[in-house]
Each structure stands twice: as C-alpha cells, then as structure tokens.
Structure 1
Amino acid sequence: MVRFPGVYVAIITPFHDNLELNLQGLKEHVDWLIQEGADGIVPTGSVGEYASLTAAERASVVETVIDVANGRVPVVVGSAAPSTKIAAEWIAHAKQAGAAGVMALPPINYRPSEAEVIAHYERLSEEGLPIIAYNNPHDYSTDLKPALLHKLSAIENVVAVKEFSGDIRRVHDIQRETDLEILVGVDDLAMEGGLLGATGWIAGLTNAIPGDSVRMFKLAQQGKMEEALALYRRMLPLFHWDASPRLVQAIKYTMELAGRPVGITRPPRLELTLEEKREIRDAYEYAIAK
C-alpha cells in the first residue's frame, strides 16, 4: 500500500503586514487547498519558512494545519533542525499532534559521513512516524544517491524519498535499488516523474494553482500524455521558479496574483524586484490562460 500517493502541497506560512504569524490565513489556505483536490499538506518545510519561525510559532503552525485538515487529508510535517536531537523532538511533537508522517532532511549544518546520515535517520525512525527522506543536494551538503537510499530503506520507518536532485533518471535507479515510494520534489519535473512511476509529488507553486496541478499529475500517472502535457506546458514557466532561491517569494507573489494574498516573506528573504514580479506575473497569466 502506498502511504503518500498524489499531490502533497508544501505550504507557505502566511504573515500579517507586520510579519506576525497569520493563523487565520493559514486555516483558510489549508481548507482551500483541500477543497481544490490536494492529496496531502506539508507544513514547516523550506517553503513554509520554518527557519524564520520561533519554536512556539512552528508548533502552532503544525497544530493548526492538522486541526484544520481534520483527517480529510494526511499532514506530513517538515522536521528540519540543526541537530538530530531537535529534529527528533519535532517529530515527537508532530506525532503527538496527529501527523501522518514527517519529511526529514539529512544533517544540514555540515557535510556528514554516510555513517552519520544513516545514524541520523535511525534515530528519527525511533519516534515511530513514517519518514519521507528529503534529498536536496542543491541547498544542503548531502546527496541521498540511490545507493545510500538503498541503505536507508532498511530503516524501519523510512518509507519514501522526496527527490529534488533535478536528475529525473534517478527515478529509475531508486525504483531498481529500493522499495521506497518516490515523490517528485521539483515542480518542473512533475509530469516526467508521474510518467516514470513516481507515487507522488511534493509541490511548491501548487500553493497558487492547485486544481490544474493535481489534474496534470494524475493524468501523467495514468499515462494520458497528451492531456497532461497540455496542462503542464502552460504551467511550466511558473514551475521553473521552483528551483530558484527566490521560490518562497515567488509563491507568495503568485498567490497575491491569484487573489489569495498571504503576506510577504520574513527576513532574511527580501521582496522581489520589479523585474522578477513582471516575469512571475507573465508566467502566471500564461499558466491560467485557457
């Protein structure tokens, strides 16, 4: 049985104009995504600005999302932290709050050895929640290559991988070398991943265009290439922002364009330039053109 099938939205964290946490906006956003067909919600990831939240705010975001989802869709909580101990504590909190699983990075503060990566996930597994190992070698020092994922898949609660390397060929290698579920982690490889047999997609720009995103991925999984491609090509210029360092700002600005403003990002992230806004606006208008 696939634990995390379909499109899981790595959600933004809304802020008021004074940059205080906007829990009402968060509730409305989660409810809207579920109504639009999202298969799951992933709070407190990089898109959710987890590193800009206080511990109390982060806990509140997790609890609010799980409360609003209310069992309608699974909630998978981002557990990134500067140490294994703190990451395990966030997983324990997620479990107590009712999360269905966690998305867990390898150690993030330095370049760990393979043995340290394995020990890290073994400790996180002890908390008893299903783990989606998050491979993001662009922003962090560790690359969870298929050979390492083969070893991690032997850990009891490591059941899936979010693949963000950008190398779509790895889907084949991971399928061959492990029994892990594969969730595409790059928006502009979502269709390709679905066609190759990825079981899910943890999506970013889908915060702003959930309906068409979900439809496209399901068509790709069903092998309906022509129909999936028609949707995908429209959204692709916007999806290219998923690999940009300005991703979070791009998502929040796109949501403003979609009529669902959620505030700006907290420092150190700065606002978009006028040129960036123009490019995103053009991409969004192209994505929603019928």
Structure 2
Amino acid sequence: MTRFAGVYVALVTPFTPDCEVDYKRLHELCDWLISQGVDGLVPSGSLGEYATLTNEERAKVIDTVIEAAEGRVPVVVGTAAPSTKQAADWVRYAREAGAAGVMALPPINYRPLEHEVVAHFEAMNSVGLPIIAYNNPLDYKTDLTPDFLAKLSRLENVVAVKEFSGDVRRMLEILEKTNLEVMVGVDNLTLEGAMVGATGWIAGVPNALPKEGVELFNLSRAGKLEEAMALYRRLLPLFRFDASPQLVQSIKYMMELAGFPVGPTRAPRLPLPDAEYEAIRQAYQHAVGGK
C-alpha cells in the first residue's frame, strides 16, 4: 500500500502586511487546495518559512492546517529543527495533533557523521509516526544516497523519501535498493520522476496552480506522455523557480498572479528585484496561456 500517493502541496505560510501569521488565510488556502484536488498538505517546511516562526506560531500553523483539512486529505508536518530533541518533539507534536506523517531532514546545522544521521532518525522513528526522509544535498550538508537510504529504511517508520538532489536517476536507484516510496522533491522533475516510478510529489508551484499540478502528475503516472508533455512544456518555466533559493518569494508572487495573495515573506527574505518578478510573470502567463 502506498501511504503518500499523489500531489502533496508544501504550503506557504500566509502573512499579514505587517508580517504576522495570517491563520485565517492559511485555513482558506487549505480549503481551496483541497477543492482543487490535491492529495495532501505539508505545513512547516522550508517553503512555509518554518525557520522564521516562533514555536507558538509553528504549532498554531500545524493545528490550523490539520483543522482545515478535516480528515479530507492527509497532513504531513515538516519537522526540521536545530537539535535532534527538537526535531523529535515536533514529530511528537504532529502525532498528537493528528498528522498522518512527517517530513524530516537530517541534522541541518553542520555536516554530520553517518552514525549521527542514523541516531537523528532513530530518535524520530521512536515516536511512532510515518516518516518521509527529506534528501536535499543542495541546501544542507548531508546527501541521503540510495545506499544510505537503504540503511535508514530498516527503521520501521521511515517509509518514503522526498528526493531533491535534482538527478532523476536517483529515484530509480532508490526504488531498486530500498522499499521506500519515492516522492518528487523538485517541481522541474515532476514528469520524469512520475514516469520512472515516483508515486508522490511534494510540490511548490501548485500552491498557485493546484489543478494543473494534479493533472500533470496523474497524466505522467498514467504514462500518457503526449498529453503530459504538452502541459509540462507550459508549466516548466514556472517550475524552474522552485529550484531557486528564492523559491518562497517566487511562489508567493505566483499566488498573487493567480488571484490568491498570501502576503509578504519574513526577513531575511526580502522582495526580489523587479526583473525577477517580470520573469516570473512571463513564465506564469506562459503556463496559463492555454486557458
């Protein structure tokens, strides 16, 4: 049985103009995404600016998303934190709040040794909630290679991986060497990942274009290459912004273009140069031009 199949949106965190968390807008965003057919919601990740939230804000974001979902779709909570104890505590909080699972990075503050990474995941595993290991060697110090994931997959609750290395061949190797579900981790490999066996996608741009994201992933999973490619060509210029360090500002601007504004980003993320916004606007128009 696949636990985390389909399109799970890595949620942005809406803010008011003075950069307070807008919980009402977050609830509305969850309702809208579910109405558009997404399969799951992922709060408290990098795209949700978790590192800028207080513990109280982060807990209320998680509670708001689970309350808004009302059991209609699963909620998977991001648990990244500076210490192993803090990460395990967020897994525990997610379990008690009613989450279906968590998305978990290795230690994020430095380049850990292998046994430290294993111990980090063992601590989270002991809580008893399904874990999607998050491999992002581009932004963090650890690369969860297929061979390393084979070791981590021996932990009973490590059941999936969000693969963000940017190499679609990794997905095939993970499927060959482990029993983990593979979830596409970067939007501009959605079609390729689905076609090589990824059963899920933790998505960024579908915050703004959820219906199109769901359609693309389903077409790709079904092997309907001609239809999938036509849609992918429209969306790909927009998807490339998901692989940029400025993905949060970019995706929040896409949501404004889509008629669902969610406010600014919190410092240290500041507004982008005008040329960047113009490039996003052009890519957005290309994406929706077929409508």
TM-score by length of 1: 1.00
Partner in structure 2 of residue 43 of structure 1: 43
Q: Residues of 2 paired with 1:254 and 1:272: CA distance?
A: 13
* Alignment TM-score, normalising by the size of structure 2: 0.99
**Matching residue of 2:178:** 178
Question: Counterparts of 1:24 and 1:232 in 2: how far apart (Å)?
Answer: 32
Q: Secondary structure at the match of 1:9?
A: strand
Q: Residue type of the partner of 1:55?
A: N
> Is 1:255 matched up with 2:283?
no
**Count of residues in correspondence between the two structures:** 290
Letter in 2 for 1:90: W
1:78: Cα distance to partner?
0.1
Task: Specify the SS of the correspondent of 2:132.
Answer: strand
Distance in 2, matches of 1:137 and 1:170, equals: 12
1:83-232 matches, cutoff 5 A: 83-232=83-232
Alpha-carbon distance in structure 2 between the residues aligned to 1:34 and 1:276:
30
Task: Name the SS of the counterpart of 1:287 in structure 2.
Answer: helix
Q: Deviations over 1:248-290 (max 9, x none)?
A: 0000000001111000100000111100000000000000111
Q: Give 1:166 deviation, angstroms.
A: 0.2
What is the DSSP-based 3-state SS (H/G/I as helix, E as strand, rest coil) of the residue aligned with 1:239?
helix
After superposition, the C-alpha distances for 1:159-207 in whole angstroms (9 at most, x for unaligned) are 0000000010011110110000000001000000000010100000110
Give the corresponding residue for 1:244.
244
Distance in 1 of aligned mates of 2:37 and 2:136: 26
Determine the C-alpha separation between the residues in 2 that align with 1:198 and 1:157: 19
The DSSP-based 3-state class of the residue aligned with 2:141 is coil
Q: Distance in 2 between matches of 1:231 and 1:138?
A: 27
Among the aligned pairs, what percent are the same residue?
Answer: 63
Supply the AA of the counterpart residue of 1:186. Answer: V
Answer yes or no: is 1:279 the counterpart of 2:289.
Answer: no
Within 1, Cα distance between the matches of 2:126 and 2:59? 20
Structure 1 residue identity aligned to 2:5: P
Whole-angstrom distance in 2 between the partners of 1:171 and 1:243: 17
Q: Deviations over 1:36-93 (max 9, x none)?
A: 0100000000000000000000000000000000100000000000000000111111
Q: Distance in 2 between matches of 1:118 and 1:96?
A: 24
2:73 counterpart residue number: 73
Q: What SS class does the counterpart of residue 169 from structure 1 fall into?
A: helix
Which stretches of structure 1, 4 residues or longer, exceed 2 Å deviation after superposition?
Answer: none
CA distance in 2, matches of 1:140, 1:170: 17
SS, match of residue 112 in structure 1:
coil
Aligned equivalents of 1:53, 1:136: Cα separation in 2:
21
Q: Which residue number in structure 1 is paired with residue 15 of structure 2?
A: 15
User: Does the residue aligned with 1:248 lie in a helix, a strand or coil?
Assistant: helix
Letter in 2 for 1:99: A
Q: State the shift of 1:235 in Å.
A: 0.3
State the alpha-carbon separation in 1 of the partners of residues 117 and 105 from structure 2.
10
> What is residue 82 of structure 2 aligned with on the other side?
82
Gaps of at least 5 residues in structure 2 are none
Name the CA distance, whole Å, in 2 between partners of 1:143 and 1:75. Answer: 25
What secondary structure sits across from 2:154 in the alignment?
coil
Q: Distance in 1 between matches of 2:17 and 2:186?
A: 30
CA deviation digits over 1:99-121, x for unaligned, max 9? 00000000000101111111110
Shift of 1:26: 0.2
How many Å separate the matches in 2 of 1:153 and 1:136?
17
